[in-house]
Amino acid sequence: MQSRFTRIAGWVDDRTGLPSAISSFLLEDIPASAGWPHVFGSVALFLFLVQGLTGILLALNYAPTPEDAHSSLTYIVRQVSGGRLVYGLHHWGASLMIIVVFLHMAQVFIFGAFRRPREATWLAGVALLLLTFAFGLTGYLLPWNNKAYWGTVVTTRILAGLPGAGPILAQLTGSADRVGAVTFSRFYALHTLLLPAATICLIAIHVYLVRRHGITPERRSDQEMRKFFPEQLFRDFCAVFLAFLCLFLAACFLDVPLERIADPTDTSYVPRPEWYFLFLFQLLKFFPGRLEIVGSLILPALAVLSLALLPFVERTYLKILKGRVQAACVVALAFSGWLALTTAGSWGPEQPNPKGTISAAGDDRIQLPVQMIAGYAYFQSFHCEACHDLIAGPPKPGPALGVTELQHSRDWILQHFTNSFRAGAAMPFPQRIALFEFVTRSTPDLVQTLPGIRPELLNGAQVFVASACASCHKVNGSGGDIGPSLNGLSRRRSRDWIRAHFAAPGKLSPGSMMPSYHFKEKEERDLITYLLSLPE
């Protein structure tokens, strides 16, 4: 008598044919010579599935707009339970997938599995390799940090510079005018819709072709066959488990750097692509000026073309690849070239220490009134956050700032500063006015913007206010008219000139009414940094 389970299985098989299909898939004959080198395809497929799963999870909490992308990703990593791990799995999974896909291709190459009749299988594999790179390229714009922004700027410029198709590609990627919201949406759509769909289709074709033509037998083997299940499946699963273990440990113990939000005005940032694009990055350096197209298009295109044509050309001409040792030597040579380029690409100037650099173009936030910036710095240095939140936070005795309208008069608030400060009434009037400006004019947007200002600029703004520079100099449209406006100072004066001017204004500017200032070293450095960062 048939058990209920058998009857149900029989019904499903009868109606869908799935159990029979799975069974024939598992019990397919493969060459007995197949073994551990043949596991990479399964690992690559597994990693693609992990990328899909973690990508979906990220998308559930991710806002694909330039305004919100970085903050939503920060939210995922810092506030959502398990978010750091999910992001880590996705980030490191991308790198591991590139490695595994290359190992898979190298194995196929060394074993000569691209030869007739498996040309189409090889071509599908080459297309999948390109898709894997396309995933990487479109994916790393999405955190919308400096690396994402500048990486995309360089990529889209390269595309736009291609002869003939350049302008069309620039339009298609939404980067004809600038890398912005349209580019972001295009890359997001590519990364989450078009590329996955294309990859799934190609994987299906690739697996079908592998099954159709079978695994390449060893050349000198006696064509002995065995079943895919359980031995080869066991090997595949062991390799998959190892890959998962590596990925899991990387996600647990290696931080994925979030970096600062994309800042198009940050000229101090040294753009570097992800490690798997470093070889292209380095290649471009060898071809300056009009030769750039050789590094950006011709050589990469030739490499892809030679990969695609390999099964057709090799059959006739490249006898050297007949043996595995020779083929392995070719792979080793290609790997050495790639490694040399990647290593050279990773060398170069480090990200500068922000303390020592000044962004020539300035920071948008520096366009805020100096009193707001200094007021925010005083809010911090006098520990006002002990009683007041900025917008939101844990419950505190005083009202939050930045969201509710203040209920007290100007005099009451200024008196409150004097009464409340642990520093007592020692706070001079200009500082109190700056704090008052901050407290009374804060808005949610402003309060979220100000924490991004670098500490030395905050300190510089404080020194500016404390020294009452605004009595004589205009900054960002407000201040006195006795002295010149200080906006755009970086174009007119050097750091040394300003330092000398503080010490003896009359020497450098004959007739100047400005008194001498002798600041402490750090105060002077931060004040000059602030002044030089002011926009035009």
Partner 1 sequence: MRKTTTDSPGIIRRKLMIQAICAIPAVIGGTLSAFAGTYLCARRRVAGFEWADAGDVSLMRDRTPAQIRFTRAVADGWKVRAEQCSAWVTIDEHRNVTAFAPQCTHLGCAYNWQAEKKQFVCPCHGSKFNVRGDVIEGPASRPLDRYSIKLEGNRLWLGPLKDTEDV
Site residues (vs partner 1, CB under 8 A): 32, 50, 53, 57, 60-61, 63, 68, 71-72, 74-75, 78-83, 85-86, 224, 226, 229-231, 233-234, 237-238, 240-241, 244, 248, 389, 391-396, 399-400, 402-405, 407, 444, 448
Q: How far is the CB of 22 from partner 1 (least distance, A)?
A: 13
| Residue 66 or 402 having the CB closest to partner 1 | 402
CB-side exposure of 420: number of CA atoms within 13 Å? 18
| Residue 85 or 205 having the CB closest to partner 1 | 85
Q: How far is the CB of 223 from partner 1 (least distance, A)?
A: 13
Q: How far is the CB of 38 from partner 1 (least distance, A)?
A: 16
219 vs 198: CA distance, rounded Å? 34
User: Where is 326: in which H helix or E strand?
Assistant: helix 324-346
| Residue 395 or 477 having the CB closest to partner 1 | 395
Contact partners, residue 106, CB within 8 Å, separation at least 6: 331, 335
Look up tokens 């994402």; give the residue: 148
Q: How far is the CB of 60 from partner 1 (least distance, A)?
A: 7
91 vs 51: CA distance, rounded Å? 9
| Residue 11 or 241 having the CB closest to partner 1 | 241
Tokens of 133: 């790179």
User: Where is 352: in which H helix or E strand?
Assistant: none
| Residue 239 or 370 having the CB closest to partner 1 | 239
CA distances to 95, 172, 198, 324, 412 from 132, in Å: 10, 20, 11, 26, 63
- For Cα atoms 511, 515, 519, give the angle at the middle one, nearest 5 degrees: 135
| Residue 75 or 338 having the CB closest to partner 1 | 75
Look up tokens 């704090």; give the residue: 435
Q: For residue 331, which amino acid is it?
A: V
Alpha helices in 111-230 (DSSP H): 119-139, 146-160, 166-172, 181-189, 195-213
Which of helix, strand or coil describes residue 261?
strand
460 vs 354: CA distance, rounded Å? 14
Q: How far is the CB of 397 from partner 1 (least distance, A)?
A: 9
Q: How far is the CB of 392 from partner 1 (least distance, A)?
A: 4
What backbone torsions phi and psi does residue 352 show, to the nearest 5 degrees?
-65, 150
The secondary structure of residue 316, as a DSSP letter, is T
Contact 527, 499 (CB under 8 A): no
297 vs 279: CA distance, rounded Å? 13
| Residue 316 or 409 having the CB closest to partner 1 | 409
| Residue 11 or 234 having the CB closest to partner 1 | 234
Contact 365, 307 (CB under 8 A): no
| Residue 240 or 489 having the CB closest to partner 1 | 240
Q: How far is the CB of 248 from partner 1 (least distance, A)?
A: 7
Q: How far is the CB of 325 from partner 1 (least distance, A)?
A: 25
CA Rg, the chain, in Å? 31
| Residue 316 or 407 having the CB closest to partner 1 | 407
Q: How far is the CB of 207 from partner 1 (least distance, A)?
A: 18
* Closest among 451, 428, 439, 459 to 527, alpha carbons compared: 459
Q: How far is the CB of 48 from partner 1 (least distance, A)?
A: 14
| Residue 242 or 504 having the CB closest to partner 1 | 242
CB-side exposure of 396: number of CA atoms within 13 Å? 16
Q: How far is the CB of 68 from partner 1 (least distance, A)?
A: 7
